Amino acid sequence: MTETDRPNPLRTTFAGITLETPTVLASGILGVTASTLAFAARAGAGAVTVKTCGLEPRKGHPGPSILPFRHGMLNAVGLSNPGVDVVADEIREYRRRNRVPVFASIFGRTEDEFGAVAARIAVAAPDLIEVNVSCPNVQSEFGQLFGTDERAVARITEIVKAAADKIPVSIKLTLSCPSVARMAQVCKDHGADAVTAINTVGPGMIIDVHTGHPVLSNLEGGLSGGAILPLAVRAVYRIKAAVDIPVIGTGGVEDLDGALQMLLAGADAVGIGTGLYTSGSGLFEELRGGLRTDLAERGLTSINELRGLAHGA
């Protein structure tokens, strides 16, 4: 048998979607246009997620809105997006030339608005609709995060499922709730096909010591990058231990070790965001090669044999 005859050891299937490699470009990174989604697909992502969109165009916050520091990154972009209908066109444009699955990401200002956005993105037939109930950067505008309120998450999950026209739905979870595993159970009970864990953490603040000004224009922003990997790995582990639901494990993966930790914790796929800055756009290929080699060294033939092994350890 030649190399190409063997089944792809990295192929992974969850919620009815097959990825040729278990990595996902996370929402908010690159994916504002068809061309940037294609850029990430060419770089080796197993699936690509579009930046979160809502009903109306938004400019987002002034700069600085994305701020690396030595232990990670803070961002408060403020959900800038050209509106759901433009994004639907970008998804269709992407699909014309690309086979790598594409996930939409949506937000609403009210519970019902999530349904309206879902219905309008569904016409572009993304492979999955991710529901951003957990963006920490618009709280002053929208009030409490939906993602911390079980009743709101339950209702939004049902509304989006009803509007999504059989497209699988993943709810993107925040750590700012008492139990992320409990919240994943709520999502499953109300029809979610998967959960994405986790969104950025915090929010946090960085102050310029000379002027005394917080540097982000929004003053505070969600924390991402290597610093949050242990939080994300633990969240995936706790969800998988408690709930039978696919998980896109996202948060702080910047190298092979991080991706392996996510998979061992039970992630069905690994989201990559800030890592594309800290490790460069070669990270997707690095993970693909690294995971193949790692499986071979362990004597495993499929990524499915590796997934969740931490639970038996």
Partner 1 sequence: MVHEMRTYPVQRVVTHAPDLKSFYFPRDMDVTPGQFVLAWLPGIDEKPFSVSGVDNNFLEITIKAVGPFTNAMMEVGMGQRVGLRGPFGHGFKLVGPALVVGGGCGVAPVRYLAQEMARTETEFELLLGVRTAQELMFRDEYHRAGAWLVTEDGSLGTRGLVTDRLKELLAQGRHSHIFAAGPEGMLLAIRDLAEEHLLDYQLSFERYMKCGIGICGHCAMDGSGIRMCVEGPVLSKQDLKGITDLGLPHRDATGARPGNSPGGGCR
Regarding 120 and contact with partner 1 (CB under 8 A), the answer is no
CB of 271: closest distance to partner 1 in angstroms?
A: 13
Q: Which two tokens stand for residue 6?
A: 């063997």
Distances (CA, A) of 215 to 43, 138, 277: 32, 17, 19
Regarding 39 and contact with partner 1 (CB under 8 A), the answer is yes
Regarding 229 and contact with partner 1 (CB under 8 A), the answer is no
Angle between helices 111-122 and 150-163 (to 10 degrees): 30
CB of 274: closest distance to partner 1 in angstroms?
A: 7
Regarding 290 and contact with partner 1 (CB under 8 A), the answer is no
| The binder of partner 1 chosen from 18, 35, 144, 301 (CB under 8 A) | 35
Confirm whether 177 is a catalytic residue. no
Q: What is the contact mask toward partner 1 in residues 186 to 215, using x (rule: CB under 8 A)?
A: --------------------x-x-xx-x-x
Q: Would you say how long the chain is, in residues?
A: 313
CB of 54: closest distance to partner 1 in angstroms?
A: 11
Q: Which residues pair with 271 in a beta bridge?
A: 24, 250
* Angle, alpha carbons 271-277-279 (nearest 5°): 80
Regarding 86 and contact with partner 1 (CB under 8 A), the answer is yes
| The binder of partner 1 chosen from 8, 11, 20, 68 (CB under 8 A) | 68
Site of interaction with partner 1 (CB under 8 A): 28-39, 42, 51, 57-60, 62-70, 77, 80-83, 86, 206, 208, 210-211, 213, 215, 217, 273-274, 276-277, 281
